[in-house]
Amino acid sequence: MTFADFKNWREESLCAKPSLLDCGETNLYRALSTLQPKPLKQAGQIHRCDLAKKWLRRYGLPESDSRRAHVCRGVRHALRIILKEAASGNAILYAPKDVYPAYLEIAHSAGAEVRTYSTMPHPVLPTAKEDARSEFLLICNPWKPLGRFLTAEECGHLRRWITATNKRFILIDAVYDFGVPFHPTTMNLAETGRVIVLHSVTKGWLWPQTFGIAWAGGQSSHFNFGFRGDPPSQDQLALADQLLTGEANLPARVAATIDARKDKLLAVLPNAVAKLFVTAAARSSSGCYLFPVDLDASELLNQHAILGIPASVFGAQWSGTILTSLASVFAAGQKERHP
């Protein structure tokens, strides 16, 4: 099922039976629109280097890394630039095929050679033998839509993979990490010097395609990333300065709001469904609103009156379902509903 097919199916299902428990909302910005800050006009020019240093300070990283903290317009923008450079050097990209279709779309448009791997119901990380070419491995931390951070075992696997040859690099999409500093597993991998952490104001500050940072490890400095030639606009930089300075606590508020909705979802789920969660960590991961369950979406709908997202919508071959806690029924002040 494609995402367009799912949207139509969801609308038709809810219209036919309004009493369904809607666990199929995917739009974070619509769900949390009341938290989105209003842009303020700012006088004077905003410099990218100043924003890079402000971002580094926020995440407890040395300001001396400012030359390696490349300013961009978000994770997608950063990936376009990085993968274009990777493709020009005949590099290989390993990318998840069941997270965001945009990953593969960007990679193919950049001309990169792509090899895919699955993340659902559990990540199957590449184990390819050494290749003469450079290799990039794209991951999410936390994993989406699994709703959890890397495990110690996965982190160890990735460290062994990246250190097997000096031509391997890991791209970490950390946009769903609402914490400060970044999760220990991200920092553990970053210690290798061959990790590029991608982050932005897209989720924590609810402003997509505005401002982001690609923090590149020291051993990736030989790549000629073209960030300087394609910077954010002054309006985007001014908004980013406002968010990082005046809205520093917003990611924590966003995470707390998401956690409150998660609690309401967990409170109304039947035990028969809750016990089928793929990962128990999703229950305790702050900022998590996606929950995979090992049950077919049609069966979930017919037996439990719960509308979820078939995993195939994310590109997975797995037959499970993803539940979300973003629908208005889980918002503060809404009455609980038991299916």
Q: Does residue 194 sit in the same domain as residue 209?
A: yes
CATH number where 121 lies: 3.40.640.10
| DSSP string across 159-189 | HHHHHSSTTEEEEEE-TT--SSS--HHHHHH
Does a structural domain hold residue 158?
Answer: yes
- Residue 266: inside a domain, yes or no? yes
Q: Give the sign of the dihedral formed by CA 49, CA 52, CA 58, CA 61.
A: negative
**Cα three-residue angle 176-290-328, rounded to 5 degrees:** 105
Nearest to 319 by CA among 290, 298, 289: 298
* Whole-number pLDDT of residue 338: 45
Do 227 and 268 belong together in one domain?
no
Determine, yes or no, domain membership for 41.
no
Q: How many CA atoms lie within 13 A of 140 on its CB side?
A: 23
- Any domain includes 92: yes
In a domain, 336, yes or no: no
**218 and 108 within one domain:** yes
Looking at the whole model, is its pTM more than 0.85? yes
**Does residue 117 belong to any structural domain of this protein?**
yes
Residues 116 and 194 placed together within one structural domain of the fold: yes
Give the pLDDT of residue 283. Answer: 75
Q: How much is the pLDDT for 281?
A: 76
The pLDDT score that the predictor gives to residue 105 is: 95
Lowest mean pLDDT among 65-69, 276-280, 288-292: 276-280
Q: Which pairing describes strands 135-140 and 113-117: parallel, antiparallel, or unpaired?
A: unpaired
**Tokens at residue 45, please?**
């020019």
Residue 129 and residue 103 share a domain: yes
**For residue range 36-86, what is the model confidence (pLDDT) as tens digits?**
999 888 778 999 999 999 999 999 999 999 999 999 999 999 999 999 999
What CATH number should be reported for the domain holding residue 272?
A: 3.90.1150
Please report, as a single letter, which amino acid is at residue 263: D
pLDDT, averaged across the chain: 92
| Cα 89 to Cα 132, 135, 136, 321, 330, distances in angstroms | 12, 10, 12, 39, 48
262 and 182 fall within a common domain = no
User: Is pLDDT above 60 for 167?
Assistant: yes
3-state secondary structure of 135: strand
Residue 223, CA distances (Å) to 2, 75, 131, 219, 314 in order: 36, 18, 18, 9, 31
Q: For the chain, what is the domain count?
A: 2
Write down the pLDDT at residue 139. Answer: 98
Distance (Å, whole) CA 58 – CA 67: 16
Is the Cβ–Cβ distance between 201 and 211 less than 8 Å? Answer: yes
Beta bridge partners of 323: 291
Question: What number is the average pLDDT over the span 316-337?
Answer: 85
Domain membership flag for residue 40: no
Closest CA to 77 of 250, 233, 238, 290: 233
Say whether pLDDT at 334 is over 50. yes
Residue 333 has pLDDT above 80, yes or no: no
Distance from C-alpha of 254 to C-alpha of 258, rounded to nearest angstrom = 6
- Domain boundary, last residue among 217, 246, 275: 246
Residue that finishes a domain, picked among 246, 271, 297: 246
Same domain membership, residue 229 and residue 273: no
Sheet with 309-310: strands ordered across: 290-293, 321-324, 309-310
Residue 74 has a pLDDT of 96
Evaluate whether residue 338 is within a structural domain.
Answer: no
Range of the domain at 324: 3-35+250-330
Sequence-separated (6 or more) residues with CB below 8 Å from residue 195: 162, 169, 170, 171, 172, 186, 189, 217
- Give the mean pLDDT of 94-109: 94
For range 29-34, the mean pLDDT: 95
Q: In what order do the strands lie in the sheet with 113-117?
A: 69-72, 212-216, 195-200, 168-173, 135-140, 92-96, 113-117
CA distances from 68 to 30, 126, 180, 260 (A): 34, 27, 19, 36
- Which is higher by pLDDT, 279 or 91? 91
Q: Is the domain of 127 the same as that of 8? A: no
d(CA 251, CA 243): 10
Own/partner pairs, 53-60, CB within 8 angstroms, 24+ separation: 54/241, 54/244, 54/245, 55/199, 55/213, 55/244, 56/215, 58/180, 58/244, 58/248, 59/180, 59/181, 59/182, 60/180, 60/181
174 and 69 belong to one structural domain:
yes
* Cα-based torsion angle of the residue sequence 275, 147, 185, 213 in order, rounded to the nearest 10 degrees: 180
Which position has the token pair 């050679």?
113
Q: Does one domain contain both 118 and 156?
A: yes
Of the residues 246, 265, 285, the one at which a domain ends: 246
What number is the average pLDDT over the span 291-315? 95
Statement to judge: residues 240 and 266 lie in one domain: no
pLDDT band at 339 (very low <50, low <70, confident <90, very high): very low
Residues 187 and 78 in one domain: yes
Name the amino acid, one letter, at 158: L
Q: Of 11-15, 113-117, 193-197, 225-229, where does mean pLDDT reach its minimum?
A: 225-229
